[in-house]
Amino acid sequence: MERSGDDGKIYGDLTIRGVTKPVVLTGHFLGLQNNANGGQRLGLEASTTVNRLDYGVKWNRAVEGGGMMLWNGVTIDIAVEALHRGRRG
């Protein structure tokens, strides 16, 4: 992971249909908020784009007027909300 202020990059591996490739998710910290129960919530978003053909996803269909139904670039968006309730004794 790399962090620069509220922005960051998360490095990992993505496996689709038995094919594993390295990916980099570019993310942004959305903030931290106290809740009524004394805990805190945090939010973050991250995304990456992969080429579906690299993972063996080749199905496609021609559409009326020419062209194909699916683009080869697939964007993966992740939104996370986490709750921290404090330490348990």
User: Which domains are assigned to the chain?
Assistant: 2-84 (2.40.128.110)
Kindly report the number of other CB atoms within 10 A of residue 27's CB atom. 20
Q: What is the pLDDT of residues 42-78, one digit of tens each?
A: 999 999 999 999 999 888 888 888 777 778 899 999 9
- Cβ-contact 55, 48 below 8 angstroms: no
Predicted pLDDT of residue 88: 57
3-state helix, strand, coil in the chain (%, to 5): 5, 60, 35
pLDDT grade for 87, boundaries at 50, 70 and 90: low
* 10, 13, 19, 56, 85 from 16: Cα distances, Å: 18, 10, 5, 8, 34
